[in-house]
Structure 1
Amino acid sequence: MWNGRDDGKEIIHKRLFKCLDKTSKTKLLGFCSSLGVERNKGRIGSENAPLKIREFMANFAIHDDFSFDDLGNISEFSDLESADEMLYEKVLNSLKNNEYCVILGGGHESSLAPIKALLDSKKSVGVINFDAHFDVRIQDLHTSGNSFYKAYEYAKENNYKFNYLCLGASSLSNTKALFNTMDKMGAKYVLDYEFDKSFDVLKDFLNANDYIYLSIDIDVFSLSIAPGVSAPAVFGINLKQIIPLLNLIFDSKKLLLSDICEFNPLYDFDNHTARLSAFLAYYLLRKEKLYEI
């Protein structure tokens, strides 16, 4: 999975594929599933994303001593429930070892198991989701459209603290019923056309929560830069809008887990979405300011 241009062994030629280190506390884990997307009647293909993202991350130039460990992919399973259990165990083990893990989805079903693991570990979580969709459908089975409602239910059943913030949501992609569910959950949101309000809302959210889970659904971006997703956004946001918010999250020192999801290579154009997803995955791995905007 990790190959790239090799211009020499000197440190000045270092690229990401040369940064693998089993002892690193920064972990990468692929979750190769679009079963939740299929259940949610979306466009399948996101199970191919983890390998594609790695391919486009591999050649990034590295200017310091950064290292990370790749835990491989969760890809052999018979159904979403068994896949969720495997992901939960992997992530819980990382948390017990005080490791920071970035999960490469997969559909947005990728978020539920890690959030449950964090809830069981810390009894509290503030979930930040950059997404055109709230993903709080009330459904019996786990799908890509209800991970955050399922996490809310799990927290409620176990008397855990759960707070949810969705940034970049589209009013065209969420029914009135979903807005009502967000209100029922006590969740907060900022819509795509008012995204400039996000900084202050996010700052208050970070102050109110001790442990943060971060999810980036690639469909939060405009389809002009992210065509390869399960459900493209006509309006959407751009990189310059999200980078200051990611920097704010990193500065809080509260981020324990993160994921990227809904990149669908089958619908990409000239690898635009692959490159965007790879950039964001690397940004999450670093968990520090790389760009000041």
Structure 2
Amino acid sequence: MEKLIPFTSNDLAKITNHRSGEIKFGEKMLTIPKGTDALSFLKTSDAKYVLFGIPEDIGVRANYGKPGTASAWDSAIQSIANIQHNRFCKGYHILILGKLDVCEDMKAVKHLDFHNANDRSKLSKLVEKIDKEVSHIIFNIVKSGKIPIIIGGGHNNSYGNIKGTALAKGKSINAINFDAHSDFRILEGRHSGNGFSYAYEEGFLKKYFIFGLHENYTSKSVLDIIKKTNDRVRFNTYDCIKIRKEKDFNQEIIQAMGFIKNDSYGIEIDLDAIPNIASSAMTLSGFSIEELRQFVSYFAKNKNASYLHICEGAPDLSEEKSSHLIGKLIGYLVTDFVKSNNSIPLVEF
């Protein structure tokens, strides 16, 4: 894992706001001790969950989106460090692994223009490079018997999450995606809009459910592709559930669980599904934060829940006075997942 920048105990101390009479997550979460082999420590650690950051927006740029998702990891980890360690949720269940080293790649894309075919090709090649690193790190986390919680970057990283988990488990996995978009676009070179279609095409993704598609932003071609693969790819729409009230939110999450629950599955959360959350594809209409938290909590309560990925949040695109709120939201989602999942024994494979 040579592309990993480890998160140290000193890093954690710097972002933890100590207060008399209180215990923060930052005082209890684990980090890999200096000079210790990361893989060996992962395997022997008592922590069940491993936090891993991907501070990039290259996949978003390659998909004609607004850059800014690279900033989510720093915002989130600062917020998580200052959550209260109490009887509801314990900080020591979490090990902070660190973040992917994408510094040189991020420098390389600063002046690339996605409207230019040659530049777009360069962006896609860099996404493929990140894919390899992400899948390698996720493979090692899952193979060590832990559950990854991945934060930051574009939704292109769904591919690496799915591939790494599938390789570790020795079989294809399922995915549930809370998203306004399918990210099941054609195989035209890697970007944030086709992570799931590439994972499906290459045999790493078995069943895929998209929860809350926005009808106005799903192309006919994508709907046609999904229709042809209905035995393995299904969806519902936000409009159907919340606008026309043809379907019930709680019944729909039960239906979606029934579709994916019999195999290991990843939980993918795209923050552009929530209104007024700064992201590469910000929306004014969508599910509430409470509904998102209920969704995460529900899907975490199953022994086959194999990872959580929270992506597309872009604090850099927020107003300065509210840029910390995306990190705070991610903190809620992380603890919702841990609270619901922690009583379930890890699946042996």
TM-score scaled by length of structure 1: 0.88
Tell me what 1:176 maps to. Answer: 220
Alignment of 1:1-293 (within 5 A): 1-2=11-12, 3-8=15-20, 13-22=22-31, 23=45, 24-64=47-87, 65-67=90-92, 68-76=94-102, 78=105, 79-122=126-169, 123-155=171-203, 162-186=206-230, 187-195=233-241, 196=249, 197-207=251-261, 209-223=262-276, 226=277, 228-269=278-319, 270-271=322-323, 272-288=325-341
Identity %: 23
Consecutive unaligned residues in structure 1, runs of 5 or more:
none
C-alpha displacement at 1:83, in angstroms? 1.6
1:244-284 alpha-carbon deviations (Å, 9 max, x no partner): 33232122221111210000112223133332223213333
CA contact (8 A) 1:218 1:277 kept: no
CA contact (8 A) 1:206 1:249 kept: no
Q: Aligned in 2, Cα 1:263/1:161: closer, same or farther, shift over 3 Å?
A: closer
1:201-229 alpha-carbon deviations (Å, 9 max, x no partner): 2231244x320111100011122xx2x11
Tell me what 2:8 maps to. Answer: none
C-alpha displacement at 1:43, in angstroms? 0.1
One-letter amino acid matched to 1:52: S
1:31-80 alpha-carbon deviations (Å, 9 max, x no partner): 11111111101001111111111122221112134411111110335422
CA contact (8 A) 1:129 1:217 kept: yes
Tell me what 2:117 maps to. Answer: none
- Name the SS of the counterpart of 1:13 in structure 2: coil
- Name the SS of the counterpart of 1:27 in structure 2: strand
- Name the SS of the counterpart of 2:51 in structure 1: strand
1:162-221 alpha-carbon deviations (Å, 9 max, x no partner): 1000111101111111111222333111111233242232231244x3201111000111
Q: Aligned in 2, Cα 1:261/1:42: closer, same or farther, shift over 3 Å?
A: same
Consecutive unaligned residues in structure 2, runs of 5 or more:
1-10, 32-44, 106-125, 242-248, 343-349
One-letter amino acid matched to 1:280: L
C-alpha displacement at 1:287, in angstroms? 4.4
- Name the SS of the counterpart of 1:70 in structure 2: strand
Q: Aligned in 2, Cα 1:143/1:161: closer, same or farther, shift over 3 Å?
A: closer
Query: Partners in 1 of 2:91 and 2:340 — Cα distance?
Result: 11
Q: Aligned in 2, Cα 1:283/1:49: closer, same or farther, shift over 3 Å?
A: same
1:15-46 alpha-carbon deviations (Å, 9 max, x no partner): 11112224223100001111111110100111
Query: Partners in 2 of 1:285 and 1:233 — Cα distance?
Result: 28
TM-score scaled by length of structure 2: 0.75
Q: Which moved more, 1:238-247 or 1:122-131?
A: 238-247
- Name the SS of the counterpart of 1:259 in structure 2: strand
1:98-123 alpha-carbon deviations (Å, 9 max, x no partner): 11111112011121111011222331
Query: Partners in 1 of 2:223 and 2:335 — Cα distance?
Result: 32
Q: Aligned in 2, Cα 1:188/1:125: closer, same or farther, shift over 3 Å?
A: same
One-letter amino acid matched to 2:234: K
Larger Rg: 2
Q: Aligned in 2, Cα 1:18/1:185: closer, same or farther, shift over 3 Å?
A: farther
C-alpha RMSD of matched pairs (Å): 2.1
